[in-house]
Structure 1
Amino acid sequence: MLIRDAVPSDEPTWRKLWLDYLAFYEADVPEKVTARTWERLIRKQDGLLCRVAESSGVTCGFSLSVLHAGTWTTTPVCYLEDLFVAPEYRGRGIGEALVRDLVGLGKTCGWSGLYWHTQAGNQTARSVYDRFAKADDFVRYRLSLR
């Protein structure tokens, strides 16, 4: 297995995985937003970072993260916003490897921390995430401004 930065030629495969990810969460993201997200990921703009996982030469998963400043630290914090592994590749340790990859990058680059969230009922993801940390007791609030 190989985990690496996404490159422009990954776009068709990433888009397929991205659409499967959005379908899983029953989310509708306009094409304009998807195109702009890909552009920002490839250019590493706005603190965005895309890592892809390959198994036997096939791109089968990704992690999308946002590096940002924090008020409780002097070094960047990484928010793992999206992580997805194609269903046919699950159970092979790819999700765990994608998280471990970010942990390694964070240690190498001097990030102060890594955090993420998932749906309470997403037991597949939680079984991976619980290997790294236990869920805390914070409650998330969301307010749309559009």
Structure 2
Amino acid sequence: MLIRDAFPSDQPAWRKLWDGYVAFYKADVPEEVTAKTWERLIRKQDGLFCRVAETSGEVCGFTLSVLHAGTWTTAPICYLEDLFVAPEHRGRGIGEALIRDLVSLGKTNGWSRLYWHTQADNATARSVYDRFAKADDFVRYRLFL
């Protein structure tokens, strides 16, 4: 397995995975948002970046993350916004490897922390996430503008 930055040529594979990710969350992301997201990920604009997992030449998973400043540290903070592994590739440690990749990048690049969230009932993902850290007691609020 190889984990690397996404290349522009990965767009078709990423898009297939992205569509699966959006469907998993029963969401509707407008086409112009998806196109702009890919553009920002590839150009590493606004702190966004994409790492992909590749096995046998096939992109089979991704992380989409945002590096940002914080008020309680001078070092960058990484928010792992999206992680997805193709269903046919699950159970092979790819999700865990994608997180380990971010941990390694963070240590190498001096990030102060890495954080993410998931749905409370996403037991499969949480079984992986719990290997890295325990869920904290914060409650998320979202206000759509």
Length-normalised TM-score, structure 1: 0.99
User: Where in structure 1 are there 5+ consecutive unaligned residues?
Assistant: none
Instruction: Give how far 1:57 is off.
Output: 1.1
> What SS class does the counterpart of residue 60 from structure 2 fall into?
strand
- 1-side partners of 2:110 and 2:99: how far apart? 16
1:60 pairs with 2:60: yes
Instruction: Give how far 1:97 is off.
Output: 0.2
Q: Which amino acid aligns with 1:91?
A: G
- Aligned counterpart, 1:99: 99
- 1-side partners of 2:124 and 2:21: how far apart? 13
> What SS class does the counterpart of residue 120 from structure 1 fall into?
coil
- Aligned counterpart, 1:23: 23
> What SS class does the counterpart of residue 46 from structure 1 fall into?
helix
- 1-side partners of 2:131 and 2:142: how far apart? 27
The size of the alignment, in residue pairs, is 145
> What SS class does the counterpart of residue 22 from structure 2 fall into?
helix
- Aligned counterpart, 1:137: 137
Identity of aligned residues (%): 83
Instruction: Give how far 1:70 is off.
Output: 0.3
- 1-side partners of 2:51 and 2:22: how far apart? 18
Length-normalised TM-score, structure 2: 0.99
Q: How does 1:30-109 map to 2 (within 5 A)?
A: 30-109=30-109
Q: Which amino acid aligns with 2:86?
A: A
RMSD of aligned C-alpha atoms?
Answer: 0.3
User: Where in structure 2 are there 5+ consecutive unaligned residues?
Assistant: none
1:11 pairs with 2:11: yes
> What SS class does the counterpart of residue 119 from structure 1 fall into?
coil
